[in-house]
Amino acid sequence: MPSEKLVQGLIDQMNFEFESANVYLAMAAYCQAENWDGFANFFLVQAEEERFHGMKIFNYLNDIGERAIISGYRSPKNDFQSILDCFESAFQHEKEVTKRIYALSDLALDERDHGTIHFLKWYIDEQIEEEALFDNIIVKLKRINNDTNGMFLLDREFAARTFTPEEQ
Ligand SMILES: [Fe+2]
């Protein structure tokens, strides 16, 4: 059985994942306002993913006989200078998520709670992918350096991104 502290850590992480969905919704709204529909779609899909990440913990808490206590969310950043600014902010956000997942995993390891250690392994793998994804896009955006053709191509590529929970 996880300690009260570990359960609270899981609840906090669940709420942070839901908060992350809002972080990405704000970026989607900025992209929509700038008429970059593909980039907006990218962030809308990202927001759905974050909600899914939150729901996984929501369900896990129920599975271990605990209750998912939902708390309010902080306002995300809504002002962005550019598409690159969005992705750089997203990358910083994902690094913060990784830090929190690692701290939570440390706690589960200290308690030798193998169920939770195993459960969190999925998030550790996910974070490696998330950071690599944003890092890669930032490199591409810097290479494109606001070239209109390049931006249109990337926007079109991201218009095709879909949310596929079974691959999560
Ligand atoms: Fe997440």
Q: In angstroms, what is the span from residue 149 Cα to ligand 1's centroid?
A: 31
pLDDT, tens digit (0-9, with 9 covering 90-100), for 5-35 = 999 999 999 999 999 999 999 999 999 999 9
Asked if 119 and 60 count as a contact pair (C-beta separation under 8 A), the reply is yes
Segment 109-137, tens digit of pLDDT: 999 999 999 999 999 999 999 999 999 99
Q: How far is the CA of 3 from the centre of ligand 1 (A)?
A: 23
pLDDT exceeds 60 at position 80: yes
Per-residue pLDDT, averaged over 143-164, amounts to 95
Domain spans, the chain: 4-71+80-156
Structure tokens at 113: 């709670």
Is 4-71+80-156 a CATH 1.20.1260.10 domain? yes
In eight-state DSSP terms, residue 64 is T
Residues sharing a CB contact under 8 Å with residue 83, sequence separation 6 or more, in sequence order: 31, 34, 36, 39, 141, 151
In the structure, ligand 1 is a single-atom ion and the residues with CB under 5 Å from it are 17, 50, 53
Note the pLDDT tens digit of each residue in 24-77.
999 999 999 999 999 999 999 999 999 999 999 999 999 999 999 999 889 999
Helices (H), 64-146: 83-110, 114-144
Determine the length of the chain: 168
**With contact defined as beta carbons under 8 Å apart, do 95 and 127 qualify?**
no
- Ligand 1 centroid – CA 20 distance (Å): 7
Mean pLDDT, the chain, integer: 96
Cα angle 57-60-63, degrees, rounded to a multiple of 5: 160
Ligand 1 centre and the CA of 82: distance in Å?
A: 23
Ligand 1 centre and the CA of 97: distance in Å?
7
Q: How far is ligand 1, taken at its centre, from the CA of residue 50, in Å? A: 5
For residue 37, how far is its CA from the centre of ligand 1 (angstroms)? Answer: 23
